[in-house]
Chain A
Amino acid sequence: MILTKLPVGQDARVTAINGQNSVTRRLMEMGVIPGVSVQMVKTAPFGDPIEIRVRGYSLAMRKNEADSIEVSF
């Protein structure tokens, strides 16, 4: 499933990063690569962006940027 569909507080494992562009590349450099575990932390007041935890730190991104992240739990 897609990361943005994760309920708040849910842990999951990244299975794939779809697409190949500057955003997906930066995502991977920030440590979001297949196999890593992530947690959906929260959504901003206006519904976007979202905050996730990965490798022990907090990363915020817009939903359309998170759409490339495939997870399973």
Chain B
Amino acid sequence: MDDISHNSQLTIALAGNPNAGKTTLFNSLTGLKQKVANYPGVTVERKEGPWKVGGQSVNLIDLPGLYSLDATSLDEQIASDIIRGVQADVLRPDVIIAVVDATNLERNLYLVTQILEFGVPVVIALTMIDVFEKQKHEIDIEMLSVLLKTPIVAVNAKSGRGIDELAEKAAEMIGAVPTVPAIFNEVANDDDSNSKIFARYNFISNAVQESVWHSDQTNHRVSEKIDRVLTHRVFGLVILVAILLVVFQTIFSWSSLPMDLLEQGFGSLKDGVRSQMPPGILTDLIADGIIAGVGGVLVFLPQILLLFLFISLLEDSGYMARAAFLLDKLMSRVGLHGKAFLPLFSSFACAIPGIMATRTIENRRDRFATIMIAPFMSCSARLPVYTLMIAAFFAGQTFLGFISVGAVLMLAMYALGIFVAVIAAWILKRTILKAPPPPFLMELPPYRVPNIRTVLQNMLTRAWLFLKRAGTVILAISIILWALMYFPRTQTTPAATVEVTASSTENILAEPLPEGEQLRNSYAGKLGHAIEPVISPLGFDWKIGVALIASFAAREVLVSTLSIIYNVGSDENEESETLIAAVRDAKDDDGKQVWTPLTALTLMVFFVLAMQCMSTLAVVRRETNSWRWPIFMMVYMTALAYFAAFLTYQGGKLLGFQ
């Protein structure tokens, strides 16, 4: 049943310029039933959903925004291929709904003329008509429709205006043989492509002249006024920094409560599993491997949701384009596009959404260069590590009596990441990702009040992608790491295993000694010993080695692993007094102090630069569609981290620090 209806199902595609209101219209036509996936082999998002047209359900595809069928980016290429009917995997659309912004008619119609040349049935959905009319312009839709030989429907997704009519017109156009306006046939065989462009615009100018009356050129007065402040030479930059600070502050403060709740939730889930299931390997796997591992990643979901909320708001309001405009000069100095700013900024919360946000960068080499440096931005998973180290060794210390050493160190870690990222970008853009600077050419769309529905939908889609991608990989890695720390089993006294009852299990397992002992003899412990010669020039012993190995799954795992190693119980967090004391007092096998302020600093430097996040690597694999890039990222970042940590430790020792 499903198959039959699928085969005979009609396809309608929504095409239009970026910022024309395409996504808002799509959301209102398909509601919540849309699916988001990728086109095969590439990372361009494929959005589709059912739409009721003339009594039947058609498959509505939301194409990526494009200015012209002569593509300059991957997004445009895919959209263009679908319109032409040459994209594998997608049926040639039966009807194309061309979304046209009434306030930006001429340039929006350019794409329409190109689509009309193909002879596909087209219905024009005229958006922003309310804004247009409010500005006292008038448009004779019938006249324009006659001139373009194409039905036009004025729509407003919010009020529902024209939505039914759009469906009617689309139904009428199914199977129609459209008449191509004569002008296009004349130039169709002309191989000078410039004259084609001129002919299209001439045609458009004439059509618009006959059907539109402008009251005055006041179109963008409001946006211009806002822009006078937001892109002001001085205030523009100050406001940009202020916006970023507010966004960050809000992300961290709003997310702390749900994150704590999630953490507690996973904690009780773990306890629940322990108390309900018989003790044994399966219980351990579920509690310590799966729940702890996956829970550790899901805890970041509130931050990711909030970050995408702000990104969507900034994007939808039109501000993001201004940020790129303000910063392009700085970004282009290291060979990047102004648009790279947003993904890099997002990476301070988490590199995963940051890397996903590089999709807006059209040029492949620029995009990859941005992806390769994004993880240098200190993400929130590094915070627990910085916090623990600072709390243990630099707490309460001040410079000049009032500047906190901890705060300065924290800031220095962020600065180090940015500094290395800039140098890495500079080198990458001159070597393996060598390319001329990409064109900046970009529309600055008028400011608009963000559409809440679009913003929320975008946020949820991104969050779901994060869960799906990071979730699967993290699950696998968590199980592997758990196994490394769990096997081989150290013999426990038989008495303990025999006498356990459901209620006493927890007490026995919480006994610190066996847990630390187990870890020492596990494969992870052996690996720690094996890498000791490599990490001892950094001042790290094998125990830190075990924690480092574990932290390659996710950075914050370092804290819980150190807790296990120092036998303070794995539920300790980075601010726990016992863990801080344990780290401070830890002795190596010869009874020497393991940790000094210098070791702590070295570890922090290592964490700034090292690639210790499986989820990021998994996302890089998806976004670059190859294993080469994540492997390269892992190797070069970790080598850099080792080198920098080596310099820090050995340099520090030479300077007389311990």
Assembly CA distance A58 to B446 (angstroms): 8
**Do A62 and B110 touch (CB < 8 A)?**
no
Question: Is the pair B439, A26 in contact by a Cβ cutoff of 8 Å?
Answer: yes
A-chain residues with CB within 8 Å of residue B233 when the two chains form the complex: 45
Q: Does B443 contact A (CB under 8 A)?
A: yes
Docked Cα-Cα span, A25 to B495, in Å, equals 81
Docked-complex contact A58 and B72, CB < 8 angstroms: no
Asked if B103 contacts A60 (CB within 8 A), the reply is: no
Cα–Cα, bound, A60→B325 (Å): 7
CB distance from B266 to the nearest CB of A (A): 46
* B234 touches which of A23, A42, A44, A45 (Cβ 8 Å): A45
Q: In this assembly, does B469 line the interface, its C-beta being within 8 Å of a C-beta of chain A?
A: no
Cross-chain contact of B328 among A20, A29, A55, A62 (Cβ < 8 A): A62
List B contacts of A51 (CB < 8 A).
231, 325, 444
Evaluate contact between A65 and B440: CB separation under 8 angstroms.
yes
Residue-wise, chain B 220-258 has the 8 Å CB interface mask toward A (1 for contact) of: 100110010001111011000000000000000000000
Given known contacts A33-B201, A45-B236, A57 and B68 CB-to-CB distance under 8 angstroms: no
Which of B110, B201, B332, B440 meets A61, CB within 8 Å? B440
Asked if A62 and B444 make an inter-chain contact with CB atoms under 8 angstroms apart, the answer reads no
A30 at interface, CB cutoff 8 A: yes
Residue pair A29, B440 in contact (C-beta under 8 Å): no
Q: How far is the CA of A28 from the CA of B194 in the complex (A)?
A: 8
From B70, B110, B232, B325, contact of A25 by CB (8 A): B70
CA distance A73 to B245 in the complex (A): 44
Contact pick for B193, options A25, A45, A46, A49, CB 8 Å: A25
B473 to chain A, nearest CB (A): 37
- Per the bound structure, the CA–CA distance linking A42 and B328 in Å amounts to 14
Q: Does B72 lie within 8 Å of A26, measured CB to CB?
A: yes
Please determine whether B326 and A27 come into contact, CB atoms closer than 8 angstroms. no
B443, A59: Cβ atoms under 8 Å? yes
Cβ contacts under 8 Å, B434 to chain A:
none
| A18 contacts chain B at the CB level, 8 A cutoff | no
A61 CB to nearest chain B CB (Å): 5
Residues of A within 8 A of B332 (CB): 48, 62
Is A65 touching B107 in the complex (CB atoms < 8 A)? no
B394 at the interface (CB under 8 A from A): no
Return the contact of B441 from the options A33, A57, A65 (Cβ within 8 A).
Answer: A65
How far in angstroms is the closest Cβ of chain B from A20? 8
B414 contacts partner chain A, Cβ-Cβ < 8 Å: no
B62 to chain A, nearest CB (A): 22
Q: How far is the CA of A51 from the CA of B446 in the complex (A)?
A: 13
What separation, in Å, do the CA atoms of A8 and B201 have in the docked complex?
Answer: 26
Alpha-carbon separation in the docked complex, A15 to B68 (Å): 23
Given contacts A33-B198, A56-B217, A56-B219, contact A26 B326 (CB under 8 A): no
A23-B439, A31-B107, A59-B443 given as contacts; is B68 within 8 A of A48 (CB)? Answer: no
Taking the closest CB of chain A, its distance from the CB of B343, in whole angstroms, is 19
Inside 8 A of A25's CB, which chain B residues have their CB? 70, 193-194, 197
Which of B70, B193, B198, B329 is A44 in contact with, Cβ under 8 Å? B329
The distance in angstroms between the C-alpha atoms of A57 and B318, with both chains bound, is 13
Q: How far is the CA of A30 from the CA of B443 in the complex (A)?
A: 9
A25-B193, A42-B231, A56-B220 known; A30+B441 contact, CB < 8 A:
yes
B67 in the interface (beta carbon within 8 A): yes
Chain B neighbourhood of A61, CB < 8 A = 439-442
Which residues of chain A from 1 to 58 have any CB-CB distance to chain B below 8 Å in the complex?
A: 20, 22-23, 25-31, 33-34, 36, 41-42, 44-49, 51, 53, 55-58
**A22-B72, A44-B231, A45-B233 known; A59 vs B442 contact (CB < 8 Å):** yes
The smallest beta-carbon distance between A15 and chain B, in angstroms, is 14
Contact B201 A56 (CB under 8 A): no
Binary interface encoding of chain B residues 45-76 relative to chain A, with 1 for a CB under 8 A from any of its CBs, else 0: 00000000000000000000001101010000
- A65-B439 contact in complex given A29-B70, A49-B325, A49-B329, C-beta closer than 8 Å: yes
| Contact A57 B329, CB 8 Å, known A22-B72, A65-B439 | no
Nearest CB in chain B to that of A58: its residue: B444
A51 vs B325: C-alpha distance when bound (angstroms): 9
Which residue of A23, A33, A59 contacts B444 across the interface (Cβ within 8 Å)?
A59
Nearest CB in chain A to that of B237: its residue:
A45
**Would A60 and B201 be within 8 Å (CB), given that A29-B70, A45-B233, A45-B234 are in contact?**
no
B-side contacts of A41, CB under 8 Å: 224
A49 touches B328 (CB 8 A): yes
Contact assessment for B440 and A62 in the assembled complex, using a CB-CB cutoff below 8 Å: yes
Q: Which one of B326, B439, B445 contacts A22 once the chains associate, using CB atoms below 8 Å?
A: B439
Are the CB atoms of B329 and A60 closer together than 8 Å?
no
The complex places the Cα of A57 from the Cα of B108 at a distance, in Å, of: 11
Taking a contact as CB atoms under 8 Å apart, the answer to whether B441 and A26 are in contact is yes
Say yes or no: B329 contacts A29, CB within 8 Å.
no
Q: In the complex, are the beta carbons of A62 and B439 less than 8 A apart?
A: yes
Choice from A33, A46, A55 contacting B329 with Cβ under 8 Å: A46
B106, A60: Cβ atoms under 8 Å?
no
Q: Which residue of A lies closest to B442 (CB)?
A: A60
B508: Cβ under 8 A from any A Cβ = no
Contacting pair B107 A27 (CB below 8 A):
no
Q: Are B104 and A56 within 8 A (Cβ)? A: yes
Complex partner residue of A60 from B68, B219, B441, CB under 8 angstroms: B441
Is B330 part of the binding interface, using a Cβ–Cβ cutoff of 8 Å?
A: yes
A residues less than 8 Å from B70 (CB atoms): 25, 29
**A residues in contact with B219, CB < 8 Å:** 56
29 contacts between A and B (CB under 8 A): A22-B72, A25-B70, A25-B194, A26-B67, A26-B68, A26-B72, A27-B441, A28-B194, A29-B197, A30-B443, A44-B328, A44-B329, A45-B237, A48-B332, A49-B328, A51-B444, A56-B219, A57-B104, A57-B220, A58-B220, A58-B223, A58-B443, A60-B325, A60-B440, A60-B442, A61-B442, A62-B332, A62-B440, A65-B439
Known: A31-B107, A51-B444, A65-B440. 19 other contacts (CB 8 A): A20-B194, A25-B70, A30-B107, A36-B201, A41-B224, A42-B227, A42-B231, A44-B329, A46-B330, A48-B328, A49-B440, A56-B103, A56-B217, A57-B443, A59-B442, A60-B441, A61-B439, A61-B440, A62-B439
Top 10 A-B pairs, shortest CB-CB distance: A46-B329, A58-B444, A55-B106, A29-B68, A62-B440, A45-B233, A23-B439, A28-B197, A57-B104, A31-B107
Which B residues fall within an 8 A CB radius of A?
67-68, 70, 72, 103-107, 110, 193-194, 197-198, 201, 217, 219-220, 223-224, 227, 231-234, 236-237, 321, 325-326, 328-330, 332, 338, 439-446
